[in-house]
Amino acid sequence: MKGAKSMPKILIVDDESGIRQVLNKFFKIKGLQTLEAENGEQALQIASSENCSVALLDMGMPGMDGLVLLEKLLKINPRLTVMLMSGRNDDEKIKKALELGAAGFIMKPFDFSELESTVISKLKNE
């Protein structure tokens, strides 16, 4: 007999604390559990110890950018749904992210109805 399904966890990775706080509050209101990382190294540590369902990655972080982190996260958890976020609409990077296995791309500033439909729909498809 299987146990109750645990609440899906969303990993929010962005070097700007304000963005992490806004996303954290938004998803908590929706009844979802969030984990936050301010850089790629923190995100990898969290992904190694927590079973996350979705990761939202800032594309342009110092150190390890979103594309490198995307590849590393998918090695840790191939079933992880990864969405990239950016304030710049860089078609080449978006195309590369999708080729590497990203599930989608979200523009900043966020359209919260799009964010909800995109991320929450991914969780429901698990």
Domain ranges of the chain: 9-124
Fold for the domain defined by 9-124: Rossmann fold (3.40.50)
98 phi/psi in degrees, rounded to 5:
-65, -40
pLDDT the model gives residue 5: 54
pLDDT-derived band at 118, boundaries 50, 70, 90: confident
pLDDT-derived band at 111, boundaries 50, 70, 90: confident
More confident residue, 4 or 94: 94
Question: For 16-31, b where at least 16 C-beta lie within 10 A, e where not — what string?
Answer: eeebbebbbebbeeee
Q: Which token pair is 1?
A: 């007999």
